[in-house]
Amino acid sequence: MSRKEKKMSLTTKVLLGMLLGIVVGLAINLAGLNGEGSWVNVYIVNGLFHIVGAMFVTALKMLVVPLVFFSLISGVIGIGDIRELGKVGVKSFLLYILTTAIAIAVALGIAASFGIGSGVEMSSDLSFSAKAAPPLSSVLIDIVPGNVVNAFATGKMLQIIFFSILVGISILMVGKKAKPIVELVEISNEIMMRMVNIIMAVAPYAVFALLGKAIANLGLNLLTDLAGYVAVLTGTLLFHLFVTLMIILKLFSGKSPSTFLKKMKEVQVFAFSISSSNATIPVTLRVVTDRLGVHNSIGSFTIPFGATINMDGTAIMQGVATVFIANAYGVDLGIGGYLTVILMSVLASIGTAGVPGVGLIMLSMVFTQVGLPVEGIGLVLGVDRLMDMIRTAVNVSGDAAVSVIVAKSEKKLDEATYDDPEAGIAEEEDLEIDEEAEHELAETVEEIHEEILEEVRKHKKK
* By the rule CB under 6 A, 319 interacts with ligand ASP: no
Out of 356, 373, 376, 424, point to the residue binding ligand ASP (CB under 6 A).
Answer: 356
> In angstroms, what is the minimal distance from the CB of 395 to ligand ASP?
4
Residue with smaller CB distance to ligand ASP, 304 or 356: 356
Burial class (CB in 10 A: 0-12, 13-18, 19+), 427: middle
Residue with smaller CB distance to ligand ASP, 266 or 388: 388
Neighbours of 188 (CB within 10 A): 17
Residue with smaller CB distance to ligand ASP, 322 or 395: 395
Binding flags for ligand ASP, 46-85, as an x/- string (CB under 6 A): ----------------------------------------
Out of 206, 285, 355, 380, point to the residue binding ligand ASP (CB under 6 A).
Answer: 355
> In angstroms, what is the minimal distance from the CB of 361 to ligand ASP?
8
Residue with smaller CB distance to ligand ASP, 45 or 360: 360
Q: Give the total of residues touching ligand ASP (CB under 6 A).
A: 15
Helix axes 245-253, 257-274, angle to 10 degrees: 140
Task: Give CA–CA dist 202/282, Å, rounded.
Answer: 14
Burial class (CB in 10 A: 0-12, 13-18, 19+), 326: buried
Which residues lie closer than 8 Å to 261 by C-beta, 6 or more apart?
Answer: 242, 246
How long a stretch of residues is the chain?
A: 462
Looking at 27-35, 94-102, 388-396, 420-428, which segment touches ligand ASP (CB under 6 A)? 388-396
Residue with smaller CB distance to ligand ASP, 164 or 273: 273
* By the rule CB under 6 A, 115 interacts with ligand ASP: no
* By the rule CB under 6 A, 391 interacts with ligand ASP: yes
Neighbours of 223 (CB within 10 A): 17
* By the rule CB under 6 A, 314 interacts with ligand ASP: yes
Closest Cα to residue 267, out of 384, 399, 420?
399
> In angstroms, what is the minimal distance from the CB of 389 to ligand ASP?
8
Query: First and final CA of the chain: distance in angstroms?
Result: 63
Closest Cα to residue 40, out of 27, 58, 23?
27
Contact 212, 45 (CB under 8 A): yes
* By the rule CB under 6 A, 392 interacts with ligand ASP: yes
Cβ-proximal residue to ligand ASP, closest one: 359
Range 328-334, long-range pairs (CB < 8 A, 24+ positions):
328/117, 328/118, 328/120, 328/122, 328/376, 328/379, 329/122, 329/372, 329/373, 329/376, 331/371, 331/372, 333/370, 333/372
Task: Give CA–CA dist 207/213, Å, rounded.
Answer: 10
CB neighbour burial string for 340-357, b if at least 16 within 10 angstroms, e if fewer: bbbebbbbbbbbbbbbbe
Residue with smaller CB distance to ligand ASP, 171 or 361: 361
Residue with smaller CB distance to ligand ASP, 254 or 357: 357
Binding flags for ligand ASP, 400-429, as an x/- string (CB under 6 A): ------------------------------
* By the rule CB under 6 A, 274 interacts with ligand ASP: no
* By the rule CB under 6 A, 306 interacts with ligand ASP: no
Contact 134, 142 (CB under 8 A): yes
* By the rule CB under 6 A, 275 interacts with ligand ASP: yes
Looking at 58-66, 110-118, 297-305, 354-362, which segment touches ligand ASP (CB under 6 A)? 354-362
Give contact residues for ligand ASP (rule: CB under 6 A): 275-277, 311, 314, 354-359, 388, 391-392, 395
